[in-house]
Each structure stands twice: as structure tokens, then as C-alpha cells.
Amino acid sequence: MTYHPKSDFMAVMMDRGFLADCTDYQALDEALSRGVVPAYIGFDATAKSLHVGSLIQIMMLRWLQKTGHQPITLMGGGTTKVGDPSFRADERPLLTADQIDDNINGIKKVFAAYIDYDTDAPNKALMLNNAEWLDGLNYLDFLRDIGRHFSVNRMLAFESVKSRLDREQSLSFLEFNYMILQAYDFLELNRRYGCVLQMGGSDQWGNIVNGIDLTRRVLDHEIYGLTSPLLTTSDGKKMGKSQDGAVWLNADMVAPYEFWQFWRNTTDADVGRFLKLYTELPLDECDRLGALEGAEINAAKIILANEVTTLLHGGDAAKTAEATAREVFERGGVGDDLPTLTLTAADLGDGMSIVQLIVKSGLAGSGKEAKRLISENGARLNDEPVTDAGMMIGAAALATPMKLSAGKKRHALVQLG
């Protein structure tokens, strides 16, 4: 790509690694140069929190507003009732309306940390819910007015659908409607709010193109699509997952210390790239830090962890997390912010096995995994190796809090409450 953008937003997208594809680079760039462009990203409410995999999209909306444009955060109160089949091997479990509303309330909390919904400026962000126009649709009117613009042949050719059918995996009629509903979202946002750009991960390309095509056919308006790369870490893992599961953005699901630690554990090869995507440090500083080697790269990882944690949880949370990490790693002590398991004397009874403690503290997903950790010399109790999987811990041993460790990077505090 040799295109040199004129607008600040497009320059940020290209220079920092946010851009995978765009329907018309030049026309969009010119629109961004002329005035405030309203743009949206949709988030389906399949859980009570988004995870780190969604952070690239949230940062795109943040940069959009920082460069003078209007971000629209679209909650999928309607589309979540159907479920996006894109690149999935099976159908998503159907959620009730109450579950979806609960999830939306949980998800909304994160956005205020990144985007300004209260400014009086023309680029004030909007938080919308597509249930507003989807819930009341008349089925026959929708088929006649909207359905007639969609070719089933073309829909079957989209990679997200084709890959499912090629594997001879069932695609329900419910799911097949998802791309029509998402396309209709773009049409309604254009009609109601003048939205001219939809952004999303590259797995959304087919859905985005459908929305552009529908809006042009119905309203004859020029609109655009822009996608970000689907991120994997340099060792091939899906971004947003750790060995303990999803890295959620809500503090009540993943504590700020654990969130900080996830970024501190970034692979050396990913540091420069992640600094560009997930922080607002200048590009030359991202390049300088990303090029460090050996022990020096650890300083860059701490900067990455602090910057990302500050954006989401605030500066105090980042400082506390770093101080806790230094206490744990450099002085072998116990920090104030470690994930903590509090047990009562009744919980312990005549004693609890070290295997149970490892599982209950979240350092292993099962007893089998905890036993393997012990057999491979990965478990430590107060920094001493645990060699006996049958070891019992009683109330007396917890007169002072104990530090449990799984490997060198994951720790938890066990205390008597």
C-alpha cells in the first residue's frame, strides 16, 4: 500500500498498524479531510464484558474521536438475539432478552474510559442499541423492502459462510439472517445519524460490504468500510486469551493486577507492535522500545503494561500493579494487589490439599492440571517448590498469608478470613 493519507485519522490507522483493508482509501480519506465523519463499530452482547480481543476496535473509536470525528458505539441488543455465524464452527447459544440487557450493562462500563460521551463538541460520541430499530420490525415489510436487495448466491459466496458449508457444518436460517440485519444497521445509522463509515475486524468484511451495498441501493448514499487485522500473538495464539482463559476488560472479571500482568508477559517480538496499537506513545518511541533486547526489553514491557492499564483502569491501578509485581518478583514478598483467595476455618476443616488450593486460587483449571504443575516442579508455596501433591494445609499454616505460585509469572495470595 503506497497511498499517503491526508487525514489524521487515516494516517494513524496506517502508521500504527490498525488497517487491514478499506473499500475506498482515497474517497474515505477525502471525506475525513473535509469535516466530522460519524463512524461506528458494533459489539454483540454475548458476555458481561468484552475481552482484550476487542481492544483494537475500542482504540480505533478512541483515535477517531481524538482526530476530530464522531464515534458511534453500537450495542447489539437486537443482533445478539440471532448470533453472528462468521467463521464459527457451531451455532452460538441463544440468550434471553434479560441476559442480553445484563451483558450490555456490563459492556458499557468500559467505553467511558476510552471515549467521551459528554463533550458538547460536534464529535460527541454516541452509544446506541440496534434493538431500537430491529425489535419492532414487521417481518413481511422487512422482506419486501430489504430482503429483495440480497442475493442468496452472493451471500453463500462470502468466506465466513462458505467455510462453514465447506466443512458440512449446519448453518441455521436464523444465523443466515445475521448479515442482513447487520447490513440493515448500517442503513439505519446512515439514515438516522449520517453515519458514513463502518469499522470492524477483518472477519466482518463480508457483513460490512453487504451494508454498504444495501445503503447505496436504498438511499443512494456513498458510504465506506474499514477493517483491522485479526490479531494473533507472534507465537500464533489468538489475542485476548491467556492460559487461564479470556482476558476480560471489566475489573470485576479480571483484576487490574492480572490485566497488567497479561501485558507485562507479552512476548518480546510483540512489544513494538502492541505499543503502537494499544498505547498512545509516539511512533518513534514505540519503535525504540520495541527494538530493545535482552533484559532491556523487560523495561519496555512494564511501560506497555502501565500505559494499557492506565487507559482502562486509571493511573493509580497501574502504579499499584507495578508496585505489587516488583514486590513479588524482585523482593520475593507479597504485594497488596495479588489475586486473593480468602478461606474460613470451616472451609479448611481438618485441612485442604495443596491441589485444591491451587485450583481454588485460579492457578490451575482442574485437579489434574494442578497435579501436573506439581510433578513438573512448577508449583511453589512461599517461593519454595511443592513436591508432594498430597500436602495438606490447615488453619495454623494460614496464621500469616501464603503466596502460591504457578511458574515464575502467576501468583495468588491465600489467607484466612
What is d(CA 240, CA 277) in angstroms, rounded to the nearest whole number?
Answer: 14
| Span 295-311, average pLDDT | 95
Q: Given this model, what pLDDT does residue 86 score? A: 67
Cell reading at 268: 518480546
Identify the pLDDT of residue 409: 74
**Interval 141-185: pLDDT, tens:** 999 999 999 888 888 887 777 877 887 777 888 878 888 999 999
pLDDT (0 to 100) of residue 91? 64
Is residue 330's pLDDT more than 60? no
- pTM tops 0.85: no
Residues 110, 331: Cα–Cα separation, whole Å: 33
Q: Among 210-219, 223-232, 362-371, where is mean pLDDT lowest?
A: 362-371
Instruction: Look up residue 397 and give its DSSP letter.
Output: G
Average pLDDT of the residues in 238-242 = 68
Given 3-state DSSP classes, what are the helix, strand and coil percentages for the chain, each rounded to the nearest 5? 50, 15, 35
33 CB-near residues (< 8 Å, 6+ apart): 6, 7
300: amino acid identity, one letter: A
Residue 335 has pLDDT above 70, yes or no: no
Rounded to an integer, what distance in angstroms lies between the CA atom of residue 85 and that of residue 69? 31
Half-sphere exposure of 324 (CA within 13 A, CB side): 27
Instruction: Convert the pLDDT of each residue in 19-62 to its tens digit.
Output: 999 999 999 999 999 999 999 999 999 999 999 999 999 999 99
Q: Where are the beta strands (DSSP E) in 194-261?
A: 197-201, 224-228, 241-242, 245-246
Distance CA 38, CA 193 (A): 8
Q: In which band, very low, low, confident or very high, does the pLDDT at 129 lie, cut at 50, 70 and 90?
A: very high
> For residue 196, what pLDDT band results from cuts at 50, 70 and 90?
very high
Give the pLDDT score at 16.
98
Q: How far is CA 2 from CA 176, 197, 371, in A?
A: 37, 22, 54
In the predicted structure, residue 94 carries a pLDDT above the cut 90? no
Residue 275 corresponds to which amino acid?
L
**What is the pLDDT of the chain when averaged over all its residues?**
89
**pLDDT at residue 1, as a whole number:** 56
Number of H helices, E strands in the chain: 19, 15
Confidence of residue 66 (pLDDT cuts 50, 70, 90): very high
How large is the average pLDDT for residues 120-140?
94
Q: Of 40-49, 64-73, 288-297, 336-345, where does mean pLDDT reach its minimum? A: 336-345
Pairing of strands 38-44, 197-201: parallel
